[in-house]
Copies of this chain bind each other. A is one copy, B any other.
Amino acid sequence: MRIAIFAAVLSLLVTACGQEQATSTAGQHPQQTVKWKLVTSWPKNFPGLGTSPERFAEQVNAMSGGRLEIKVYGANQLVPAMQVFDSVSSGTVEMGHSGAYYWKGKAPAAQFFCAVPFGMTAQEMSSWLHYGGGMELWREVYAPFNLEPLAGGSTGVQMGGWFNTEINSVDDLKGLKMRLPGLGGEVLSRLGGVPVSLPGGEIFTSLQTGAIDATEWVGPYNDLAFGLHEAAKYYYYPGWHEPGSTMEFIVNKDAMAALPADLQAIVRTAAKAAAQEMIDEYTYRNIAALEQIQAMDGITIKRFPEPVLAALRQASEQLLAEQAAADPQVDKVYQSFKSFKQGVAKYHDLTERAYLNLRDGQ
């Protein structure tokens, strides 16, 4: 899934807006009210991704007794989807909700905090970030931008995408025009495919008209809402390119430092709760959406053939190794990521994976 810049032309309402402060008169103990703006890379209230920062803002408001009011803006309402990082970095707004892989042009290591082909699942990512040293690295990568990152939820393992052509061999990837951004797209390119970058709003039409042969988006819930089943025949899995896409909250460091300690704690803890809620919501809604898709005439759900997956894996590993060799910071993050992934895979071989295979296997 990659950014959807839906609205064709929405006026840019960027306003210079430091922390507005007012005095609350309600309640026994009058307190200063801090007002923050939170910009996102998603359309306002976009299911899953956009509803999560809304819940976050509600919880912060409730926990602070109204002392910290956070107003959430959809993409293009205040700043374009792809300017979330810069807007929070510069202090134009105090906070953002987005995905770190969008900022690889600014900091190539950033993509490890979001989605890595053949990387870690939601549960594994959260443990790496919060206990395995991931957050320390993320803070290091974002420090030059005056940003504090916080893990901001996960979509879970995504689906492989919607195709109008069957993928029976690695050869079938050659010339395949697929909307597949980021590292996944680079991997496809190495196998002869043609990755296309398209905003969310153009995907359906491009697929329907044959301008692209395939697209990935997120998972059953978001894919169904987009109507992709009406423009493609095959729904492939598993989502090798985004196995546990992690979203981010980013906070301008000066804005955070200006808060009293209790409100700082509220922001950080509310982000952690919001992260848990996002994967809870995706899991729940994907179940029902998948059942709907499975019941559809004319849609075939298929697993990528093993030789195709093996080729994608090999190309992914080569790509990551090359990027690490070219950039010391990427290498530092990559080594930590890879080491944790190897360890958690061995542990999950005896627990999560062994159990799911026992419960649901043939």
Which residues does A use to contact B, with CB under 8 Å? 29-31, 59, 62-65, 118, 121-124, 126-132, 156-159, 219-220, 237-240, 243, 260-262, 265-266, 269-270, 272-273, 275-277, 279-281, 283-288, 290-291, 294, 301, 303, 309, 340, 343-360
Q: Which residues of B contact A356 (CB under 8 A)?
A: 121, 348, 352-353, 356
A130-B277, A273-B276 given; A240·B287 CB < 8 A: no
A-B complex: 6 closest residue pairs judged by Cβ atoms: A131-B284, A65-B262, A127-B283, A62-B265, A157-B351, A272-B273
Q: How far is the CB of A19 from chain B (nearest CB, A)?
A: 17
Q: Are B130 and A280 in contact (CB under 8 A)?
A: yes
Chain A contact residues: helix, strand, loop or mixed:
helix
A130-B280, A131-B284 given; A303·B123 CB < 8 A: no
Copies of this subunit? 2
Q: Which residues of B contact A270 (CB under 8 A)?
A: 269, 273
Q: Are A358 and B280 in contact (CB under 8 A)?
A: no
Closest to A349 in B: B360
Q: Are B277 and A350 in contact (CB under 8 A)?
A: no
Q: Are B280 and A355 in contact (CB under 8 A)?
A: no
Query: Whole-angstrom distance between the alpha carbons of A301 and B355 in the complex?
Result: 15
Q: Are A343 and B126 in contact (CB under 8 A)?
A: no
Q: Are A352 and B157 in contact (CB under 8 A)?
A: yes
A159-B350, A272-B277 provided; 8 other pairs, C-beta below 8 A?
A65-B261, A126-B279, A131-B284, A243-B355, A269-B273, A345-B359, A353-B357, A353-B360
Query: Whole-angstrom distance between the alpha carbons of A173 and B284 in the complex?
Result: 37
Q: Are B157 and A269 in contact (CB under 8 A)?
A: no
Q: Are B239 and A351 in contact (CB under 8 A)?
A: yes
Query: Whole-angstrom distance between the alpha carbons of A64 and B262 in the complex?
Result: 6
